[in-house]
Amino acid sequence: MSITAMKLCSMILQENFGDVVRTVGDDLFCTKSRTIYEIIKKTNLSRKQVTSSLAILTQYRLVSYSSIENNEQIAEYMLHYDKILLFLRYPRYMYFIQKKKGDLGALLLEELLRSGMAIAHSVIIQAYANTDVKNDQTLIELRDTFIDMVGEKFFIRCPEMSDDPVPKILNEKNGNFQVSNIEIKEIKQLIDSNKDPENVVSEKVYWTVNFDKLHQCFRDKVLIDAIERQIDANAAECFQFIISLMYKTTEAWEPVSNAISIGEIKRVIEKKSNNTELLRHLEQYVSIIEKDECGFLKKDETGNAV
């Protein structure tokens, strides 16, 4: 990591969390991992200051931890500077979600970015406090938008943790995008009572922003825009449908997708598009994209799929 990048990360921590957290972050920059005792010794901070700073960094997923090799009751902490740099992209995330999910979606995202992680009730209530119109309909729309954003994988469940001295992740991939019932009546009662939802709500499921999904959307837009510049809008629309089909059988960041047949592409366009010109010349468009120097598509061995 360059000295310039280290200084930038240090400035980001300073601006968002203050001197003490920045000091702990700067110390973790200098090594692969450290225990709390080692951080205290290197920084001359108190144990309370170090543990509070690590709690903040953990809440924002800027550090991870694991047991040291010879003692499962002592944790060592590792800093993820690449995630610190994501703070610089927050305005872009906000702009993208506002365009895609509207003002309420942007409010929900802003609150979850601000919190690092939170239960759904807290996110909705804080977003509601920042709305211009405060009524039952706004609450319903916020609740529904939150559920939609989980369904579209912009928000993801935080993994459950074990009760070990150094907690371990449990069921990391089980139910990442499953939302429990969020009752409007319960949210209204929390607002009226001015109580902290985390002290009242029985089922505490924590959510955080799924940055991978946002970056996936940015990548897809770059690819689609490149096709439109190289060929035309119809080719770009065709490629957009190909990408949507790819995600049904292939992980988002795999270098090569599973094969997609022309028939599959045609059926999804017939179902979701009114572009008759694209349908009429579908095979030609697929062929043009496949032959384009960008190399986004390649025919499989049978020649009937891409």
Sole residue written with tokens 């409007």? 184
Return d(Cα 287, Cα 306) in angstroms, integer: 10
Predicted local distance difference test score (pLDDT) of residue 129: 94
Predicted local distance difference test score (pLDDT) of residue 83: 96
Sole residue written with tokens 């599973």? 258
Stretch 8-24: mean pLDDT: 97
Asked if pLDDT for residue 304 goes beyond 60, the answer is no
Stretch 217-230: mean pLDDT: 93
Predicted local distance difference test score (pLDDT) of residue 22: 97
**DSSP assignment, residue 74?**
E
Predicted local distance difference test score (pLDDT) of residue 98: 97
**Cα torsion through 144, 147, 151, 157, rounded to 10:** 170
Domains of the chain: 3-79 (1.10.10.10), 88-209 (1.10.10.10), 213-291 (1.10.10)
Say what percent of the chain tops pLDDT 70: 96
The 10s digit of each residue's pLDDT in 156-168 is 999 888 888 888 8
Rounded to the nearest 5°, which phi and psi values hold at 193?
Answer: -85, -15
Asked if pLDDT for residue 303 goes beyond 60, the answer is no
- Lowest mean pLDDT, pick from 15-19, 93-97, 187-191, 254-258: 254-258
The 10s digit of each residue's pLDDT in 86-130 is 999 999 999 999 999 999 999 999 999 999 999 999 999 999 999
The 10s digit of each residue's pLDDT in 260-298 is 888 999 999 999 989 999 999 999 999 999 887 778 888
pTM value > 0.75: yes
Predicted local distance difference test score (pLDDT) of residue 218: 95
Stretch 234-245: mean pLDDT: 94
Return d(Cα 191, Cα 136) in angstroms, integer: 12
Query: Which tokens in the block code for residue 127?
Result: 């977003």
Predicted local distance difference test score (pLDDT) of residue 102: 96
Sole residue written with tokens 């954003």? 149
Cα of 187 vs its chain's centroid, Å:
25
| Residues 285, 278 contacting (CB under 8 angstroms) | yes
Predicted local distance difference test score (pLDDT) of residue 301: 67
Asked if pLDDT for residue 32 goes beyond 90, the answer is no
Return d(Cα 7, Cα 13) in angstroms, integer: 10
Asked if pLDDT for residue 181 goes beyond 80, the answer is yes
| Residues 134, 107 contacting (CB under 8 angstroms) | no
Asked if pLDDT for residue 235 goes beyond 70, the answer is yes
Predicted local distance difference test score (pLDDT) of residue 179: 87
Q: How high does pLDDT run on average in the chain? A: 91
